[in-house]
Structure 1
Amino acid sequence: MSERMQRLAQFCVDSRFEDLPPALVAQAKRHILDTFGATLAGAGSDVAKQARQVFDGEVGNTLIWGTDQRTGAAQAALLNGVAAHALELDDTGGCDHSGAVVLPAVMAAVSMSGQSVNGRELITAVVIGYEIGRRVLEACGSYSAHNGAGWHSTATCGVFGAAAASARILGLDTAQTVSALGIAGSFSGGLWAFIHDGSQSKKLHSGRAAEGGLLAARFAQRGITGPTKLFDDVWGGFLKTLAGESSQPDALDADLGVVWKLARCSIKPYAACRGTHSAIDALGLLLDQLQVSTDQVEDVRVSLCGFLQDMCGGRDVGTLAAAQMSLPYALAARLVQGHCRLEAYDDEQRGDPRIAHWMSRIRLEVDPQLSEDGEPIVSVRTVDGRQASLCVDPPLGAPGNPLSDAALEEKFFSLALRVMPRGQAAELLEQLWRIEELESIELSIVPTLRVGMQPGTLRVPAEADAERPVRHSHADGSTPRRGYDHSENIK
């Protein structure tokens, strides 16, 4: 058996909630909260509804969040994973989109674990999932190398995070967890081909990875074995096959249990690909710096690396998926709408002639000197001839530039209220902030995720429909800057 596989599996089995640094637990809760919010809103998206139609008539005990429907555990992992990523509002910087993969798999595993799972165990499993998914990506050479080769890491590497987290919830031992990770390798896949025509397949990747990871753990639980040399330098091995030119196998277990990968992840303030966020921030700051309104802007230039150009340089806005991957659209929306929230990507906004006007005045220029992991440089020229340039690194939402708790709650409510009343959203939020105190996820969190509940079934105080006070970590509403693994820029 591969020593690395053994060590990864042992880590999954042996890690305890008490081993997690308090700051990491706090960040894990924020990402869990954020993923539930993204999924609830995503449940109402076209792609999530279409995916649910595929399983019409299926029966099971696992809730599809934001609905009153239940289905089998594997199908629920898939469907909740699709919804989580459907609107490009889920977190990033892990496998890449770890929340949309790990949390749906974990919750599906909870539904079939056969025993009560408490909040501390849920947090631990989520942290493990983020850890393993990210480490596999780093072993592939990290984000730019692996995704630049055409693989979508949310799918290819996320399946391992889902398998590890599910194995933990299901109580697999070390040998079974090795098999779960090995089987997950056979379920890995996902290509960036969607980028050329704005197709919806990207939204399926997170769900497929969640489903695959859960199934890998379930198969291993039943005694089906997986390859124990999956990450070795052997013919048919994962790294040799998918990352032959870029693999860094030492990244699989370097500083395991010391450097925590969830701590490097970002929460999105904007409903667009993370690659656009730094430029959105820079444009807003430049407008403030130059003290100009949109009608006083002559044009906008963006100097960027070739990888970001290939990923986000498109100008097709005919579909939501295409627009959310477009850097020119994001900047045009910031100029026209004043923000890049989800509403800025509605059909009506995408067809606004003012958007087309500004997209024609936004120029992207590839600078070969820029690192493939680097953030772009945005330049604004005004009608009176002034000009200023700025690079924002890290962008808002990154660990070094985090959303405040107040902003996180505002985002959560803006998403959850699309499918449920404020009282229900408020109860869910309150439970998520204290999730480590909950003794049964099935009896506390799950009922609050169901839409269409009968009156009287929620334990909501009478004042819950009023605005709830927001939580702050500092007096000014900001949150502490994290101190882990910030050496690499986050996409």
Structure 2
Amino acid sequence: MNTDKQLPEDEQVTRLLARHIANARFSDLPPAAVAAARRGVLDWLGCALAGSRHATLDILASVMQELNGQPQATVLGRDSKAGLLEAALINGQMGHVLDYDDTHMGGVVLHASSPVLAALLALSETTKASGADLIVAYACGFEAGVRIGQASPEHHRGGWHLTGTLGTFAASAAAARLLGLDEQRTVHALGIGGTQAGGMQQNRGTMCKSFHAGKAASNGLLAAKLAQKGFDSSMQIVEGNRGFCRIYSSVAAPQALVDGLGTRWEITRNGHKPYACGVVLHPAIDALIQLRKTYAIEPAKVSSISLRVHPLVLAITAVVEPRTGLKSKFSISHCAAVALHDGAAGTAQYTDARALDPAITALRLKTSAVADETLRNDEAHATVVADGKTYEIHVDHATGTVGNPMDDDAIRQKFLANAVPVIGKDRADKVCEWVASLEKQSDVSQLPVLCA
């Protein structure tokens, strides 16, 4: 039985968050949140479809096939089905494996959509949820994941991978809302999710990094299903004396969990990636692509590339000589090199072959970066010296961030580029049309079938 010392209700921030999630209705969402949900669903589906062919997923899918339960949910892009937990795990990993999925940067760096949507799409095939139901649950997932991260401000500094830890809370909350759990059971879903939360930054650049997103999806789905049946947990999984924000962060700010709750919807502050790598690298990539386009810089004549970036960039992406595509996604020198050499940073720039390409290796060796604490995490300065001339640029807000968002057409074009090679043009166009009126759809289970 639950033996927590009971705090006054106004101090139980986990319960207040759970109440908000349990009571949330589509009519509560502002138009901006609904629009953000449509954009997020389309963008993530494209990322998952593109990731469905990655070798990492071949390994995971084959092992899950050996362990598979009753096939109930669609595995995206692979024309197969798996058990609910297995499908959530596989789809969650494929959505994150290319590091192309969306990113919330409002006090946390969280890829919420991979764990949340992988859990929700699996559940949708057994619950027959509507599009409006999905949107509400999706928004609630952001509320839980982002706000618990804001309540644990030193969590990332401790070495945790937030998409694994906070993503588990996000998926638990979203699944609880889709299942229609009441306040008490939603508290328990958050508690069951929280006790499974894991994922270490040490695994960045390996197959395990995207595995965190899949596990978060699967953990969250399991948490909500257990809570639905009466499985209990702490009532104070976030703020308790041994709660998440106390032991996963050296600084605890539990009140952040409920500040502006119901008036500020975190999904509206989501960002989308134009580049298939760690999001903190995007300002520098923007800068070098712009320099290349503006001055027609010839890579062979470059003598140096100098970058000034937010300190988080060097903390996360200091890999100097990546030997694999996955590692190159966390190398500031590799990202600078491909941006200047190719004028791009898409999936083609982060393969094993590109990581070992002599032309890219040569540019990497000419790249240096320094941290500047005065810069925001979506800002960068770049200087290139080529053929005796110096070129400089400042990027104020990286493309895809809240300060410089991708427009709806850019999101659609990204989706098509990712999806068409996997499901074909006709089906990809149908997915675009379907998601464009997501809130009017009566049965979301049709969506994963379109993406099978």
Normalised by the shorter chain, which TM-score bucket?
over 0.9
Question: Are 1:138 and 1:248, in contact at CA under 8 Å, matched by a contact in 2?
Answer: yes
Q: CA deviation at 1:298?
A: 2.7
State the match for 2:237 in structure 1: 230
Q: Distance in 2 between matches of 1:146 and 1:261?
A: 19
Larger CA deviation: 7-16 vs 378-387: 378-387
Describe the SS at the equivalent of 1:379.
strand
Describe the SS at the equivalent of 1:419.
helix
Describe the SS at the equivalent of 2:328.
helix
Within the alignment, does 1:210 sit opposite 2:224 as a pair?
A: no
Describe the SS at the equivalent of 1:66.
coil
Q: CA deviation at 1:291?
A: 5.2
Describe the SS at the equivalent of 2:65.
coil
State the match for 2:126 in structure 1: 112
CA 130–258 in structure 1, closer or farther in 2 if over 3 Å, else same? same
One-letter identity of the residue aligned with 1:73: L
Q: CA deviation at 1:53?
A: 1.0
Q: Distance in 2 between matches of 1:39 and 1:419?
A: 10
One-letter identity of the residue aligned with 2:360: I
State the match for 2:403 in structure 1: 400
Question: Are 1:148 and 1:307, in contact at CA under 8 Å, matched by a contact in 2?
Answer: no
Q: Distance in 2 between matches of 1:50 and 1:109?
A: 24
State the match for 1:440 in structure 2: 443
One-letter identity of the residue aligned with 2:86: Q
**Among 190, 193, 197, the residue aligned to 1:181:** 190
Q: Distance in 2 between matches of 1:99 and 1:56?
A: 24
Q: CA deviation at 1:289?
A: 4.6
CA 265–393 in structure 1, closer or farther in 2 if over 3 Å, else same? farther
**Among 139, 148, 172, the residue aligned to 1:136:** 148
Runs of 4+ in 1 over 6 A off after TM superposition: none
Within the alignment, does 1:449 sit opposite 2:451 as a pair?
A: yes
Describe the SS at the equivalent of 2:389.
coil
One-letter identity of the residue aligned with 1:4: V
One-letter identity of the residue aligned with 2:118: P
State the match for 2:389 in structure 1: 385
1:115-147 CA distance string (max 9 Å, x none): x31101111110110111000111111xxx322
Which TM-score applies when normalising by structure 1?
0.86
Q: CA deviation at 1:405?
A: 2.1
Question: Are 1:181 and 1:216, in contact at CA under 8 Å, matched by a contact in 2?
Answer: yes
Q: CA deviation at 1:18?
A: 1.2
Within the alignment, does 1:201 sit opposite 2:201 as a pair?
A: no
Q: CA RMSD in A?
A: 1.7
One-letter identity of the residue aligned with 1:186: T
CA 133–415 in structure 1, closer or farther in 2 if over 3 Å, else same? same
Q: Distance in 2 between matches of 1:188 and 1:49?
A: 25
Q: Distance in 2 between matches of 1:406 and 1:34?
A: 11
State the match for 2:227 in structure 1: 220
Within the alignment, does 1:46 sit opposite 2:68 as a pair?
A: no
1:61-105 CA distance string (max 9 Å, x none): 111111121111111111100000011111111660101110011
Describe the SS at the equivalent of 2:134.
helix
Q: Distance in 2 between matches of 1:83 and 1:387?
A: 39
Instruction: Summarize the alignment of residues 303-322 of structure 1 with structure 2, pairs less than 5 Å apart.
Output: 303-322=308-327
One-letter identity of the residue aligned with 2:90: L
Give the unaligned 5+ runs of structure 1. 451-491
Question: Are 1:190 and 1:205, in contact at CA under 8 Å, matched by a contact in 2?
Answer: yes
Which TM-score applies when normalising by structure 2?
0.93
Q: Distance in 1 between matches of 2:178 and 2:195?
A: 21
Question: Are 2:292 and 2:340, in contact at CA under 8 Å, matched by a contact in 1?
Answer: no
**Among 90, 100, 118, the residue aligned to 1:79:** 90
Q: CA deviation at 1:373?
A: 4.2
Q: Distance in 2 between matches of 1:370 and 1:200?
A: 34
Question: Are 1:313 and 1:364, in contact at CA under 8 Å, matched by a contact in 2?
Answer: no
Question: Are 2:378 and 2:398, in contact at CA under 8 Å, matched by a contact in 1?
Answer: no
CA 370–122 in structure 1, closer or farther in 2 if over 3 Å, else same? same
Q: CA deviation at 1:15?
A: 1.1
Instruction: Summarize the alignment of residues 240-251 of structure 1 with structure 2, pairs less than 5 Å apart.
Output: 240-243=246-249, 245-251=250-256
Describe the SS at the equivalent of 2:284.
helix
1:421-458 CA distance string (max 9 Å, x none): 1111111111011111111111x3132111xxxxxxxx
Within the alignment, does 1:124 sit opposite 2:136 as a pair?
A: yes
Q: Distance in 2 between matches of 1:111 and 1:189?
A: 27
Question: Are 1:306 and 1:372, in contact at CA under 8 Å, matched by a contact in 2?
Answer: no
Describe the SS at the equivalent of 1:388.
strand
State the match for 2:72 in structure 1: 61
Describe the SS at the equivalent of 1:223.
coil
Q: CA deviation at 1:372?
A: 7.6
One-letter identity of the residue aligned with 1:388: E
Q: CA deviation at 1:290?
A: 4.3
Question: Are 2:280 and 2:378, in contact at CA under 8 Å, matched by a contact in 1?
Answer: no
Describe the SS at the equivalent of 1:301.
strand
Question: Are 2:326 and 2:351, in contact at CA under 8 Å, matched by a contact in 1?
Answer: no
Q: Percent same amino acid at aligned positions?
A: 31
Residues paired across the two proteins, number: 438
1:222-266 CA distance string (max 9 Å, x none): 1010100222241x21111111x2221111010001111111111
Q: Distance in 2 between matches of 1:126 and 1:366?
A: 35
State the match for 1:457 in structure 2: none
1:397-422 CA distance string (max 9 Å, x none): 11221112222122111111221111
Describe the SS at the equivalent of 2:276.
coil
Q: CA deviation at 1:343?
A: 1.1
One-letter identity of the residue aligned with 2:396: D
Within the alignment, does 1:262 sit opposite 2:271 as a pair?
A: no
Q: Distance in 2 between matches of 1:389 and 1:395?
A: 13
Within the alignment, does 1:343 sit opposite 2:348 as a pair?
A: yes
Q: CA deviation at 1:288?
A: 4.2
State the match for 1:430 in structure 2: 433
Q: Distance in 1 between matches of 2:51 and 2:37?
A: 21
1:359-387 CA distance string (max 9 Å, x none): 111112234x4468463322222323334
Q: CA deviation at 1:331?
A: 1.1
Q: CA deviation at 1:346?
A: 2.6
Q: Distance in 2 between matches of 1:336 and 1:389?
A: 17
